[in-house]
Amino acid sequence: MSEHIMSSKFYYAIWIALLCLTVITAAVSFVDLGPFNAVVALVIATFKALLVVLFFMHVKYTSEKLTKIVIVAAIFWLFLLLALSMADYATRLWT
Amino acid sequence: MSDSPIAVEQHGPELLHHFVDAEQQRDAAALGMWLFLATEIMFFGGMFCAYLIYRFWYFNEFAAGSRSLDIWLGTINTAVLICSSLTVALGVRAAQMGKRKVLVVLLLLTIVFGFAFLGIKGVEWYDKYKEHHIPGNSFNVDDLVRDYPQLHIDPRHEQIYFSLYFAMTGLHALHMIIGVGLFVFLTYYAWKGRYTPKYYTPVEIGGLYWHFVDIVWIYLFPLLYLIDRHR
Amino acid sequence: MATVAVTAERENYLNQEYGIRSWLLTTDHKRIALLYLASITFFFFVGGFFALLIRLELLTPAGDLVQADTYNKLFSMHGQVMIFFFLIPSIPAVLGNFLVPLMIGAKDLAFPRINLLSWYLYIIAGVVYVHCILTGGVDTGWTFYTPFSTAFSNTRVIEAGIAIFIAGFSSILTGLNFVVTIHRMRAPGMTWSRLPLFIWAHYATSIIQLLGTPVLAITLLLVVFERAFNLGIFDPTRGGDPLLFQHLFWFYSHPAVYIMILPAMAVESEVVACFTRKRIFGYNFVAMSSIAIAVFGFLVWAHHMFVAGISLYSALIFSILSYLVAVPSAIKVFNWTATMYKGSISFTTPMLYAFGFIGLFTMGGLTGLFLSALGIDVHVHDTYFVIAHFHYIMVGGAVMGYLGGLHFWWPKISGRIYPEGWGRLAALLVFAGFNLTFFPQFILGYMGMPRRYWQYPPEFQVLNVLSTAGSTILAVGYVLPMIYFLWSMRYGKIAPDNPWGAAGLEWKTTSPPPSFNFEEAPEVTWEAYNYEEIPAPAEVSVER
């Protein structure tokens, strides 16, 4: 892991950002965006997750490429499970 | 294979002898934790897969179920976990800087936040228990059928939503409990002075685990609580 | 090779400490490997016992040995024991645990205590499963298909599910240990391109264990919850989809077969190189093919579901992907064969198993391609054709790889030479017995005999009798090594450091190795399989 010691101010800034995004997520859910409600919610969630991964978990500052490969691989594999399963469900009713 | 006398002086008792040096040990521990987190992504991922399919199939039931959750408690709990991630990150920083007392306080705060989360979760589950929304023999969603006639709720499909709700939040809570347990150990050893700027690996990898559990909740919150709230 | 003074026995990992505590609390990867060896051998015989009863029942068309419900339990538990308690751990937990640190020049795995934990989890899982067997067993098929397993079966489904769940964690931790070890603990000079192909294949196996097993874990957990709390997630009468279970189950269980075969391929590379005294042909291709098998193996799972009700369009996709996954395996077979061309071949026991592996794995793999074709699969799905296909790979491939590896590294592990004549005899018995057992099953399946049936039409009897006859020969072939390996530990010739004249760091230390593997930390300045530099042994060490 990195030896880079981050300033506590920076951590507080990320914390505030995460709290704001939480409030925004909850608030936006009351606005009718049609099918995009789910998309917006997930995009915000992903952004929050990125903040945690990159800054709280120090991935932005690590010199270890392997860490990033592991994270990307795991997410990609989950995506494989979801996508290829959906390939069945999405096409079941096609004639 | 013994180390030369010089090498022995340079490391403390925490260096395990199958490692060449402290850096190798730390790098191994970090990689090990990241790989474990990758397995956890796949573990929760199976439930996300089930969720994805049934949300498409039974959107109305999912919406009704989601509405029946308390959005305030859910939002507060999300905030609680975010605060706990802050204390964890600050704790690792304190360890890096050798500030033992600060580290202990931050670890304790993290545990407090963890208990707060679990407490609120307990309240939410108790509410579900009172409303007969826990899947099983006493499951009853007549209240939802009555409240949302336009959704044409099928109670069997509603049970699927709540099954997934309890499976996902239940396993998440189990991981929280394990995390709190881990942090109790970390706090004890931190108080004993075991962690120094040269060796704080357990704090670091414990922190990674905690952040991961936080991230799972960051996704669970919108997926479970915020379905179709605008109607 | 050098003779060893027989007066004082050198200190090694076996004699360094005695007593049951020194074994049960060991963190030495070599001792843990032997703990696993004993435990998986036990489960091999448990699974074999079920197989014996199945073959005895199938001697006659009528269901006359056991009742139908019992027969369901027999094939279910045969499958679960063999897959989860024998095949999945076998080579990685025994040979991998023993050899990975040695081959890369490390003192131990990255996490020795987690290694021991891994074994204890396996034992706990085993105890739970044995309890399950003794209290009624499980009859859902090894695949736990819903809603039978969740809503209708009256057997110990929850217990079996929990046992396999725990065993899964044992597997995950082993994989985790290997990946970290291979990344972080290679000796100076041991670059990725100098690694033995055994390491590459175990690395690929570990990736599958890490990414696939958790999905099995959550799936079994959901089955347990569904059964315990009456949920309905997989119950079609309550809106659930049984195919969801199958998607989640096979997402792991297909890559699981690559967990079972890649380590055997690992052994194959080492054995073929040594007994042709040549560098493996196309090292890079073989290494990359291991990784490719691991990755592609995750893309094909629904080929187990072609007739289950998935959409035709997804079936087409999975069919094409299933053809793709055969390519890297074929590349490996070509490369091993090409290695043998103009090699200096010795027909030792490990090499006999290696030859058997290539032929039988190829047959198993090719019949897998038959099954990937949708039209053929409709005809032979759930017949003995499928059973023959996977036994050719699992037994003809994986088990022969395991036995070949055990023989190859036995001198290193035990410090003794096994009797070579008996070794060759057993290998031939295994090969002959295997083919007699399973080749008739291809024909049976093609002719239409369904799998998991306890009685069958009389026209299938001759082939079934042949199959059962073959299984008895196979059983003898399996029991013989047990006997002579044990015999060799007391009476076998003392092994020199490198009885086969093989390449690889493990052969540069003593047989058996000292507790910390190497007297001096090795530094690697040579390429893998540098057989042009290694003198062939004057005579390949044999005990006549």
| pLDDT tens per residue across span C191-248 | 999 999 999 999 999 999 999 999 999 999 999 999 999 888 999 999 999 999 999 9
Report the pLDDT value the prediction gives residue B7, as an integer from 0 to 100: 40
Q: For the domain covering C29-508, report its CATH number.
A: 1.20.210.10
Report the pLDDT value the prediction gives residue C34, as an integer from 0 to 100: 97
Size of interface A-B (CB pairs under 8 A): 127
Assign C497 a pLDDT band (cuts: 50, 70, 90): very high
CA distance B58 to C240: 10
C383 strand-pairing partners: C450
**C38-64 as b/e, with b when 16 or more CB fall inside 10 Å?**
ebbbebbbbbbebbbbbbebbebeebe
For residue A80, the distance in angstroms to the closest alpha carbon of chain B comes to 10
8 A C-beta contact, residue C394 and residue C262: no
HSE-up of C70 (CA within 13 Å, CB side)? 11
pLDDT tens for each residue of A52-87: 999 999 999 988 899 999 999 999 999 999 999 999
Helices (H) and strands (E) in chain A, counts: 3, 0
Report the pLDDT value the prediction gives residue C536, as an integer from 0 to 100: 83
CA distance B221 to B165: 11
For testing contact with chain C, the best of A69, A85, A88, A89 (most C CBs within 10 A): A88
Angle formed at CA B186 by CA B180 and CA B190, multiple of 5 degrees: 145
pLDDT tens for each residue of C308-352: 999 999 999 999 999 999 999 999 999 999 999 999 999 999 999
Report the pLDDT value the prediction gives residue C10, as an integer from 0 to 100: 80
C-beta neighbour count of A95 within 10 angstroms: 3
For testing contact with chain A, the best of B80, B226, B231 (most A CBs within 10 A): B226
pLDDT tens for each residue of C380-403: 999 999 999 999 999 999 999 999
Assign C542 a pLDDT band (cuts: 50, 70, 90): very low
Q: Which two structure tokens, joined as six digits, stand for C70?
A: 């019992």
Extents of the domains making up chain A: 1-62, 64-95
Question: Region C73-92: what's the mean pLDDT?
Answer: 98
Percent of chain B with pLDDT over 90: 86
Percent of chain C with pLDDT over 90: 92
Q: Given an 8 Å threshold on Cβ–Cβ distance, is A87 in contact with C215?
A: no
Peptide bond into C147 cis (omega under 30): yes
For testing contact with chain A, the best of B27, B69, B86, B224 (most A CBs within 10 A): B86
Q: Given an 8 Å threshold on Cβ–Cβ distance, is A88 in contact with C310?
A: yes
How many structural domains is chain B composed of? 1
Assign C63 a pLDDT band (cuts: 50, 70, 90): confident
Backbone angles phi, psi at C137, to 5 degrees: 70, -165
CA distance B66 to B76: 16
Q: Given an 8 Å threshold on Cβ–Cβ distance, is B49 in contact with A82?
A: yes
Of C183, C211, C302, Cβ closest to residue A88? C302
Question: Region A17-44: what's the mean pLDDT?
Answer: 93
Q: Given an 8 Å threshold on Cβ–Cβ distance, is C238 in contact with B163?
A: no
pLDDT tens for each residue of C139-159: 999 999 999 999 999 999 999
CA distance C285 to C291: 10
Residue C327's contacts (CB-CB under 8 Å, 6 or more residues apart) are C292
Q: Which residues of C touch A85 (CB under 8 A)?
A: 244, 247, 251
Give the DSSP H/E element, type plus range, for residue C505. none
Q: Which residues of A touch B227 (CB under 8 A)?
A: 38
Q: How far is the CA of C532 from the CAs of C121, C198, C281, C409, C541, in angstroms?
A: 44, 20, 14, 21, 20
Counting as contact any 3 or more CB pairs under 8 A, the partners of B are A, C
Look at residue B49 and tell me if it is in a domain. Answer: yes
Residue B174's contacts (CB-CB under 8 Å, 6 or more residues apart) are none
| Full-model pTM | 0.95
Q: Which two structure tokens, joined as six digits, stand for A71?
A: 């994270």
Report the pLDDT value the prediction gives residue C246, as an integer from 0 to 100: 97
Model confidence at B61: pLDDT above 70: yes
8 A C-beta contact, residue C331 and residue C284: no
HSE-up of C435 (CA within 13 Å, CB side)? 11
Report the pLDDT value the prediction gives residue B12, as an integer from 0 to 100: 63
Model confidence at C129: pLDDT above 50: yes
For residue A95, the distance in angstroms to the closest alpha carbon of chain B comes to 19
Q: Which two structure tokens, joined as six digits, stand for B33?
A: 């934790």
Kindly report the CATH number assigned to the domain that includes residue B173. Answer: 1.20.120.80
pLDDT tens for each residue of C451-462: 999 999 999 999
Average pLDDT, chain B: 92
Assign C524 a pLDDT band (cuts: 50, 70, 90): very high
CA distance B133 to B166: 10
Report the pLDDT value the prediction gives residue B6, as an integer from 0 to 100: 40
CA distance A89 to B54: 10
Q: Which two structure tokens, joined as six digits, stand for C223?
A: 């089955």
Report the pLDDT value the prediction gives residue B11, as an integer from 0 to 100: 57
For testing contact with chain C, the best of B21, B23, B35, B128 (most C CBs within 10 A): B35
* A 22-81 near B (Cβ less than 8 A): 22-23, 25-26, 29-33, 37-38, 41-42, 44-45, 48-49, 52-53, 55-57, 64, 66-67, 70-71, 73-75, 77-78, 81
* A 2-41 near C (Cβ less than 8 A): none
For residue C385, the distance in angstroms to the closest alpha carbon of chain B comes to 31
Question: Region B162-189: what's the mean pLDDT?
Answer: 97
Full 3-state SS string of B15-49: CCCCCCCHHHHHHHHHHHHHHHHHHHHHHHHHHHH
Assign B161 a pLDDT band (cuts: 50, 70, 90): very high
Of A74, A85, A94, Cβ closest to residue C313? A94
Q: Given an 8 Å threshold on Cβ–Cβ distance, is C176 in contact with B36?
A: yes
8 A C-beta contact, residue C187 and residue C104: yes
Q: How far is the CA of B146 from the CAs of B60, B71, B155, in angstroms?
A: 14, 21, 11
Model confidence at B70: pLDDT above 80: yes
Look at residue B130 and tell me if it is in a domain. Answer: yes
Model confidence at C3: pLDDT above 50: no
Scanning every residue of chain A, which has its alpha carbon at the shortest distance from the alpha carbon of C249? A81
DSSP state at residue C83: I
Scanning every residue of chain A, which has its alpha carbon at the shortest distance from the alpha carbon of C247? A85
Give the DSSP H/E element, type plus range, for residue C365. helix C349-372
CA distance C329 to C335: 10
Lowest pLDDT segment from A35-44, B31-40, B77-86, C268-277? A35-44
DSSP state at residue C187: P
Residue among C303, C329, C330, C298 nearest C317 (CA): C303
C-beta neighbour count of C413 within 10 angstroms: 26
Residue C38's contacts (CB-CB under 8 Å, 6 or more residues apart) are none
Dihedral sign from CA coordinates of B167, B170, B174, B176: positive
Q: Cα C53 from chain centroid? A: 22
Question: Region B173-179: what's the mean pLDDT?
Answer: 98
Look at residue B28 and tell me if it is in a domain. Answer: no
HSE-up of C230 (CA within 13 Å, CB side)? 7
Q: Given an 8 Å threshold on Cβ–Cβ distance, is B215 in contact with A75?
A: no
- Range(s) of the domain holding residue B58: 37-225
Question: Region B50-77: what's the mean pLDDT?
Answer: 95
**Positions of E strands within C283-425:** none
Q: What is the DSSP string of chain B?
A: -PPPHHHHHHS-TTS-TTSSSHHHHHHHHHHHHHHHHHHHHHHHHHHHHHHHHHHHHTHHHHHHHHHTS-HHHHHHHHHHHHHHHHHHHHHHHHHHTT-HHHHHHHHHHHHHHHHHHHHHHHHHHHHHHHTT-SSSTT---HHHHHH-GGG---HHHHHHHHHHHHHHHHHHHHHHHHHHHHHHHHHHHHHTT--BTTB-HHHHHHHHHHHHHHHHHHHHHHHHH-TTTT-
Assign C544 a pLDDT band (cuts: 50, 70, 90): very low
The verdict on C302 touching A (C-beta cutoff 8 Å) is yes
Report the pLDDT value the prediction gives residue A93, as an integer from 0 to 100: 87
